[in-house]
Structure formats: C-alpha cells, structure tokens
C-alpha cells in the first residue's frame, strides 16, 4: 500500500509540474498588472514542442543528444524520492537527504555538459556558472537539511515531514522555521530563480540556466523544460509541505484523505508560486560575481537553524 502511495506521490508531482510553472507565471503577470496567460499554458507549450522537429548543431556529440534524458531522469527520480503530497510512505534509505542532493547534482552535471557540447559561448558560460552555483549550494543544502533532520530525528526527508506533520505546526519549532528559510535560499538557487538567475531574461549575459538551453529545440527542449518544471515543483512542494504539514496523505489512507491531499498540494503549490512571484517581483537579480554573499548568507542561516535545533535538543 505504501509502495503505491509513494508511486502516486511521484506521479502527482509529475502531472502537476507544468501547472506550477503556470501558477508562477500567472502570479508574476498579476504583479505586473497584466492579465497573464492561462495556467494550463505550459502543458500546451510542452505538447507543441513535442510536435516540432529538432535542429541540432553539427558540432555536438552524443552527449548533447543524451543529456536531456539524464536531466529529466534526475528530475523524475527526485519527484519519486522527495515527499510532497504524502508522508510516511518511503523507506528511510529512499529519501535520504544526501541521496536527494546527489541526484539533484547528477541532473545539473548533465545539463552543464549539454551546454558545453553546443560549441556556443552562451551555453559554455551558462555551464560554467551553473557548476559554480552547484558547488556553492552544497554546504547550505546539506546544512539546512541537517538542521531539519535534527529536529525530525531522522535523515530521511519523508521521516522529517512525518515528524513535522505529527506536531501542531512547524512554525512552532523555531529551528525548523529558520532551516526552512535557508531552504528557500537553496530552492531559489537550485531552480535558477531570482536573485540568483533570471528565468525570463533574453539577455544572454545575464543567463545561467536558460543559456544552456539555447541550442536545444523541439522534443529535447521540451524534456529539459519539463525537467526544470518538475524540479521546481518538487522543491516548492517540499518546502511548502514542510512549512504547512497539513492534509498530507498518510497511511492508513481513505478516499477522502487522498482527494484532500491532492487538493491541498495544489493549494500549497499555488501559495508557493505566489510567494515565488512575490520574491521575483520585489527583489532584483544579484550580479553573478556577488553570489558568494548570497551563499554565505544561506549557509549562515542554515547554521543558525542547526544551532537552534541543537540547543532545543539539549533542553
């Protein structure tokens, strides 16, 4: 039963991923006093891309062609091992936080290799920057999750979520709320959002993630766009569920609980998308060469969360 719930949790995320992107775009449009595109548009975009042919630079090798599959594989694997709608359904080894970090790094490595294989300076620059960010994000990532793990008493994300769900509210646990702030920093960096990267930029020199995608077209572009949507949904869903651990699908499960869980996840994703759009509408993008400040801040916030967790443990 829990096995099916785990699969279901992953499938829900895979299905909802384009919707999350639609939510973010809609919220951003409203912040700009625009009407904005319908939320279901990303589905149509992906399907349209799937119907196009592929034009590929003749200077690229098999790595360029294979990279989208591995990037998407990493995102799909994340969708299945990171708990979002359901809690208490994965065994400890399956959602170990270091495994989550490793799988995420696996995807960004192949993305960067795809960018390097395009023989274009834009992709190369994006790859170099992406790998720099990937190197810097690791300490904050592991430190933030370790703080949560100390609160939850387990090293699996699923276990942490289960623990937080058993408390009245995670905002009542100061360590968890500070660690969650650090995880918001990490989420923004991992998903190439403001203030680390500008997902809507048309100026190649300000790009990180988009620059690596410039040479992809048609179905392979669709795979990559979908992969980044899935990754965004996974991270937003995780952070939202950790901060609002309500209406989670937990065994023993009922039909009502299942429906409520899915609806609650959609609501949480919409809320997270709103917050993301709020951040992107009120903050400015930082210069790339100031990124060490951003990551130091993220690391220190995570460390503060860790300290609080340790202090509350010794009490």
Partner 1 sequence: MLSLLAKIVATGSITEPVSTFPEPELGETGENLKAAIGALYGGRSLHIRHVDAGSNNGEEYEMTALGNAFYDVERFGLSFVASPRHADILTVSGPVTRNMEHALRTAYELMPAPRIVVAVGDGAVTGGIWKGSYAVVGPVDLVIPVDVRIPGDPPAPADILAGLLAAVRKGRS
Partner 2 sequence: MAPSVFGLLFVAALVLPLLGSAAALLARRAGWGNALSQYLFMLSGVLGLAALAGYFTALHAASSVVLLSSPVLAFSVTPLSAFFLLIVYLGTFITSLYALGYLPLYADAYSVPLTNAVSGVFLFALAAVLLSTTVFTFLLSWELMSLSAYFLVIADRSPESLSAGFLYLVMTHIGFACLSAGFLLLSGGHAFISFDGVREVARQLNPAALAAAFALLFIGFGSKAGLVPLHQWLPYAHPQAPSHSSALLSGTMLKVALYGFLLALTLFPGIPASWAFTVAAVGLISAFFGALSAAVEHDAKRLLAWSSVENMGLIFSGVGIALVLHGLSMPLSGALAAAFALFVAFHVLNHFAFKTGLFLATGAMVAKTHTRDLDLYGGLAGKWPAFSGVFLVLVIAAAALPPSGTFFGEWLYLQSLAAALRFSSPLLVASAAAALGLAALVGGLALFAFVKFFSAAFLGRARSEHAEAAEPMPVLLLVPPLLCAAFSVLLGLFGLPVLSAATAGFGSLVPVTTVVPGASMSAWFVFALLAFASAFAFIAYRVFARNRTVRRTETWDCGTPLTPRMEYTATGFSAPMRFFFRGLVMAQKEILAEAVVPGNPWIANRRIEWSIASVWEAWLYRRIARGIVSVAAFVKRLQNGVIQLYLLFVLLALIIVVLVAL
* Residues engaged in binding partner 1 (CB under 8 A): 25, 29-38, 41, 44-45, 47-48, 51-55, 201-202, 204, 207, 210, 213-218, 221, 281-282
Query: Closer CB to partner 1, residue 54 or residue 307?
Result: 54
Name the residue nearer to partner 2 (CB basis): 32 or 292: 292
CB 283 → partner 2: shortest distance, Å? 22
Q: Label residue 312 exposed, middle or buried (CB < 10 Å: 0-12, 13-18, 19+).
A: middle
Among 34-42, 96-104, 178-186, 257-265, the segment contacting partner 2 (CB under 8 A): 96-104
Which residue in 157, 170, 184, 168 sits closest to 86, CA to CA?
157
Which of partner 2, partner 1, none does residue 216 bind (CB under 5 to 8 Å by kind)?
Answer: partner 1
Contacted entry of partner 2, partner 1, none for residue 30, CB cut-off 5 to 8 Å set by kind? partner 1
Residue with smaller CB distance to partner 2, 203 or 255: 203
* Burial category of 66 from C-beta neighbours within 10 Å (exposed 0-12, middle 13-18, buried 19 and up): middle
Residue 239's closest CA among 82, 23, 18, 95?
82
DSSP, res 249: B
Residue of 13, 150, 176, 180 that binds partner 2 (CB under 8 A) = 150
Task: Work out how close the CB of 217 gets to partner 1 at its nearest, in angstroms, rounded to a whole number.
Answer: 4
Q: Is 307 helix (H, G, I), strand (E, B) or coil?
A: helix
Cβ proximity to partner 2, 31 vs 106, nearer residue? 106
Site membership for partner 2, residue 73 (CB under 8 A): yes
CB of 52 to partner 2, least distance (A): 6
Shortest reach from residue 27's CB to partner 1, in Å: 12
58 vs 315 by CB, closer to partner 1: 58
Q: How crowded is residue 3: how many other Cβ atoms within 10 Å of its Cβ?
A: 10
Q: How far is CA 207 from CA 113, 130, 199, 258, in A?
A: 16, 10, 8, 40
Minimum distance, C-beta of residue 253 to partner 1, in the bound complex (Å): 36
**By CB under 8 A, is residue 72 in contact with partner 2?**
yes
Q: Does 206 bind partner 2 (CB under 8 A)?
A: no
Phi, psi of 86 (to 5 degrees): -115, 150
Tell me: does residue 188 bind partner 2 (CB under 8 A): no
The upper half-sphere exposure of residue 171, i.e. CA atoms within 13 Å in the direction of its Cβ, equals: 4
Contact yes or no for 83/91 (Cβ under 8 A): no
Identify the residue among 219, 253, 257, 266 touching partner 2 (CB under 8 A). Answer: 219
> Cα–Cα–Cα angle for 99, 102, 105, nearest 5°?
150
User: Closest approach of Cβ 91 to partner 2, in Å?
Assistant: 6
Contact 161, 245 (CB under 8 A): yes
Contacts of 124-129 with C-beta under 8 Å, sequence gap 24+, read 125/204, 125/205, 125/207, 125/211, 126/207, 126/208, 126/209, 126/210, 126/211, 126/212, 126/214, 127/212, 129/208, 129/211, 129/288
Q: Of 19-27, 60-68, 186-194, 253-261, which segment contacts partner 2 by CB under 8 A?
A: 60-68
Among the listed residues 8, 99, 196, 229, the single contact to partner 2 using CB under 8 A = 99
Q: Restricting to residues 228-287, which ones interact with partner 2 according to CB under 8 A?
A: none
Work out which of 43, 106, 169, 274 binds partner 2, going by CB under 8 A.
Answer: 106
């Amino acid at each position: 039963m829990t096995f099916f719930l785990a699969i279901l949790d992953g499938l829900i995320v895979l299905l909802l991923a384009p919707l999350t992107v639609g939510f973010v775009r809609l919220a951003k449009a409203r912040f700009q006093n625009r009407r904005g595109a319908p939320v279901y548009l990303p589905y149509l975009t992906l399907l349209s891309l799937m119907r196009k042919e592929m034009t590929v630079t003749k200077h690229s090798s098999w790595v360029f062609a294979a990279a989208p599959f591995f990037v998407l594989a990493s995102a799909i694997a994340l969708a299945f091992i990171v708990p979002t709608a359901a809690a208490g359904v994965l065994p400890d080894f399956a959602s170990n936080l270091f495994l989550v970090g490793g799988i995420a790094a696996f995807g960004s490595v192949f993305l960067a290799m795809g960018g390097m294989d395009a023989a274009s300076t834009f992709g190369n620059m994006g790859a170099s920057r992406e790998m720099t960010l990937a190197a810097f994000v690791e300490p904050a990532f592991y430190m933030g999750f370790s703080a949560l793990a100390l609160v939850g008493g387990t090293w699996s994300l699923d276990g942490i979520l289960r623990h937080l769900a058993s408390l009245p509210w995670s905002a009542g646990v100061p360590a968890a709320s500070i660690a969650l702030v650090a995880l918001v920093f990490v989420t923004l960096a991992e998903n190439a959002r403001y203030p680390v990267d500008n997902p809507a930029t048309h100026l190649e020199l300000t790009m990180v993630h988009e620059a690596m995608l410039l040479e992809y077209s048609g179905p392979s572009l669709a795979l990559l766009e979908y992969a980044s949507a899935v990754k965004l949904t996974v991270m937003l869903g995780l952070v939202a569920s950790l901060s609002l651990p309500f209406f989670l699908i937990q065994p023993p499960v009922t039909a009502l609980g299942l429906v409520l869980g899915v609806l609650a996840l959609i609501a949480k994703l919409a809320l997270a998308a709103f917050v993301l759009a709020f951040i992107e509408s009120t903050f400015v993008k930082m210069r790339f060469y100031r990124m060490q400040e951003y990551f130091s801040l993220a690391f220190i916030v995570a460390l503060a969360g860790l300290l609080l967790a340790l202090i509350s443990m010794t009490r």
